Amino acid sequence: MMPTNISPAPRASSNSKVMNRVLFWWVGCAIVGTLAGCAGRPAAYRAPVEPDRTAASAPGAGSQGAMPAGSAVGPAVAPAFAPGRSRWVPVAWESLPGWGGDSLFEAWNAWIKSCEKPQPPLAALCGEVRRLSIGSPQEQLEWMQSRLQPHRVESLQGEATGLLTSYYEPTLEASRNPAPGFGVPLYQLPAGMAARKPWFSRQEIDTLPEAQAALRGKALAYVADPVDALVLQIQGSGRLRITQPDGSQIRIRLAYAGTNEQPYRSVGRWLLDQGLIKDASWPGIKAWLAQNPQRQQELLWANPRVVFFKEEPLAELDAAFGPKGAQGVALTPGRSIAVDPSSIPYGAPVWLASSGGQTQLQKMVFAQDTGSAIVGAVRADYFAGWGPEAAELAGRMRQPLQMWVLWPRESLTR
């Protein structure tokens, strides 16, 4: 997930097993050269304004330790083919904007994360990827150019420019029990949801005794602001600093566990449709709320979907990475993206180029997540990390995007 551009988490993680089976089938089609005729793929999910995660690193170009540009383009490659919702067109390495200017240390760490749950044919590269984690930038660059073939990602209609948004992991103060200033509950999955689909809406949860009885005792923690709780649900996961009953503090992660299966409705879109705002980013939404506090409940109820969470410990090592995405591996700030898995398979290295008012990006990232608004060929959601800077970037980013999938050459010649 969670603005015009906040969105998934992990969220989307609940679909990872299904997506992995789809990806295995998808790659099988590619190997025998029949992807263009494969059909029946499930749609990814996510919403268009402040995208629902129920799916910040500076640009690499010119960064310290940048690699010298390489010139090898490798052997001849197969013609363009159409995996799912996208069309892949083989290109020379030199055509990638900024190629050779990215410092790959963080990217390599994200690649090793992907190798924890690799898919064929990417799995065959993982031994070399691990060995090259201590290689020089030049060795890494030359290896990539010899083993991978870049493909420009296009829509089936040939459009190569799409949309990049961003999401992040909110960090909130919380209380284990309701307390002065902490009265907004964040719930785990209630029992008996299977007996009622869809389950109670957000408004019904707030107003119906039957819904409140089903959630009694299911609160994991309480936060101060219902809008922050909504943002947390849209993003799909978050970090809490919890004050315990004895006054001590612990840090935990709330990970996506499921939803009430109500449709997701963007509160930014709700405001835009009524002509109430022109800026549907989270800063714009919060500015409107500051001027119209009496309409806060109305805005919250405009989105009937509620996300439920599960609690996870947040050890020091875990805190260095984001939540698990739909691939089933921890996300790396600035190096993980959410994609439409019917266009780009999980674990794929991707060269990303985007220029806009929020940031300039020319770097290698990895397709490790998805979300309900991430649909189509040239579409990605950039994991910014956590903290105020990540929140600001995710809350405002909405800019043009180009992508190139870096795919193993061997799989293209079989």
User: 77-100 pLDDT, tens per residue?
Assistant: 456 767 788 999 999 999 999 999
User: 201-221 pLDDT, tens per residue?
Assistant: 999 999 999 999 999 999 999
| Side-chain-facing half-sphere of 224: CA atoms under 13 Å | 10
User: 272-329 pLDDT, tens per residue?
Assistant: 999 999 999 888 999 999 999 999 999 999 999 999 999 999 999 899 999 999 999 9
User: 363-378 pLDDT, tens per residue?
Assistant: 999 999 998 889 999 9
SS3 67: coil
Are 125 and 383 in contact, with CB atoms under 8 Å apart? no
Q: What is the pTM of this model?
A: 0.79
Are 197 and 261 in contact, with CB atoms under 8 Å apart? yes
- Average pLDDT of the chain, as a whole number: 84
- Whether residue 9 is predicted with pLDDT greater than 50 in this model: the reply is no
Q: pLDDT band at 7, cuts 50/70/90?
A: very low
> How would you class 192 by CB atoms within 10 Å of its CB: exposed for 0-12, middle for 13-18, buried for 19 or more?
exposed
Using CA atoms, how far apart are residues 132 and 115, in angstroms rounded to an integer?
Answer: 13
